[in-house]
Amino acid sequence: MSGDRDLAIIGVGMHPWGKWGRNFVEYGVVAAQAALADARVEWRDIQFVAGADTMRNGYPGYVAGATFAQALGWQGAQVSSSYAACASGVTALSSARAQILSGMADVAMVIGADTTPKGFLAPNKGERGDDPDWLRFRLLGATNPTYFALYARRRMDLYGASREDFARVKVKNARHGLENPYARYRKASTVEDVVTSPLVADPLSLLDICATSDGAAAMIVTSMEWAKAHNYTDAIRIRGISTTTPSYPNPVIEMPNFATDSAAGLGGPAAVGFKDSIALRAFEEAGIGPSDLSCAEVYDLSTALELDWYEHIGLCERGEAEGLLRSGATELGGRIPVNPSGGLACFGEAVPAQAIAQVCELTWQLRGTATGRQVEGAKAGLSINQGLFGHGSCVIVTR
């Protein structure tokens, strides 16, 4: 995908992450209004609303597109609602892209918001015997932190990762997030802070694992032709979107691919090869490769998982992530800063909003307006994450 089949981002907005205890719709309205103001368009100009669903907030959460259209004031916009667990935001973006490229809409809003419970996220209710993630929860008793720990142990056994390596990821991201006004946690950490924080699932401690948060993010997208015709000379270009499923055999499920919320299950050098990864499809659409990236926003549910992502998106070869981290390459000022926003380490999970929030951060980076965390001369960025039941998502943006 290239040229006039790219999308333009003309506005982005967020509600700060935290534990506010209010209705998720309130957060979404704040993010939507911020995105509209940033785009310099009125709500009545939005022709399509692509909502990312939340499963924890009742029926309004299941029909997020219609929920936010009503909250902002019914004006005749078409709506869609998408659920793909943690990848919901990019699934919604993909829906908006289809509408725009088909000529059914010129200007679309992509929006997601969440209000989350305290503690770690539990599986949704109901018997789902063909869902490998439900089986992981119910048969193995492997909640998300346990599963993250298994993958951390895998890195330690295969590649010699150390407890301190995982802690260094948190230290890096905490430093990045210090100046991010939308981040929930804005406090520096040391390796000792991380290692000595309460143990959750050996070898991961509390500061290795992201929290649950309330928050929201929104973006306004158009065709490149519309943006040019309306003098958006600073529009950021969406060059590639990928929403692929795992590549390992189904229904045969073997460890380590017992659950689908693992980066390995979605492909990459540490799994079945970079040629099969969710990032590859986005790179192919964008016509660029990993070496062209200026920065990346990756889904750091745990510190160890961030290291997996370095390999899955092609920043280094299998088993080299620890060396890349230790070299300083993934820090601000390094060759390829990863999670300049601070990542989930600083934000926590607001599930339908987080994939959108990643693209918001890349937009600010490419505009050169990410004050206090700016990647110097950023020209291209990648966001990537994965969700339950085999959902993956990746977005590549350029100036």
CB 77 within 8 A of CB 69: yes
pLDDT at 192: 98
3-state secondary structure of 191: helix
CA separation, residue 322 to residues 167, 191, 273, 304, 329 (Å): 11, 15, 19, 10, 11
Q: Which residue is listed with tokens 């059914």?
A: 104
The pTM of this model reads 0.92
Domains and CATH numbers, the chain: 3-121+214-235 (3.40.47.10), 132-210+240-398 (3.40.47.10)
Structure confidence by residue, pLDDT tens digits, 277-303: 789 999 999 999 999 999 999 999 999
Q: Judge residue 15's burial from the number of C-beta atoms within 10 Å of its C-beta, 0-12 exposed, 13-18 middle, 19 or more buried.
A: buried
Question: Averaged over 365-388, what is the pLDDT?
Answer: 96
Q: Considering only 57-61, 163-167, 326-330, which range has the smallest mean pLDDT?
A: 57-61
Strands 380-387 and 295-298: parallel
Structure confidence by residue, pLDDT tens digits, 210-223: 999 999 999 999 99
Question: Averaged over 347-366, what is the pLDDT?
Answer: 97
Q: What percent of the chain has pLDDT over 70?
A: 88
CB 268 within 8 A of CB 386: no
d(CA 240, CA 223): 14
d(CA 73, CA 267): 42
Q: Considering only 53-57, 92-96, 218-222, which range has the smallest mean pLDDT?
A: 53-57
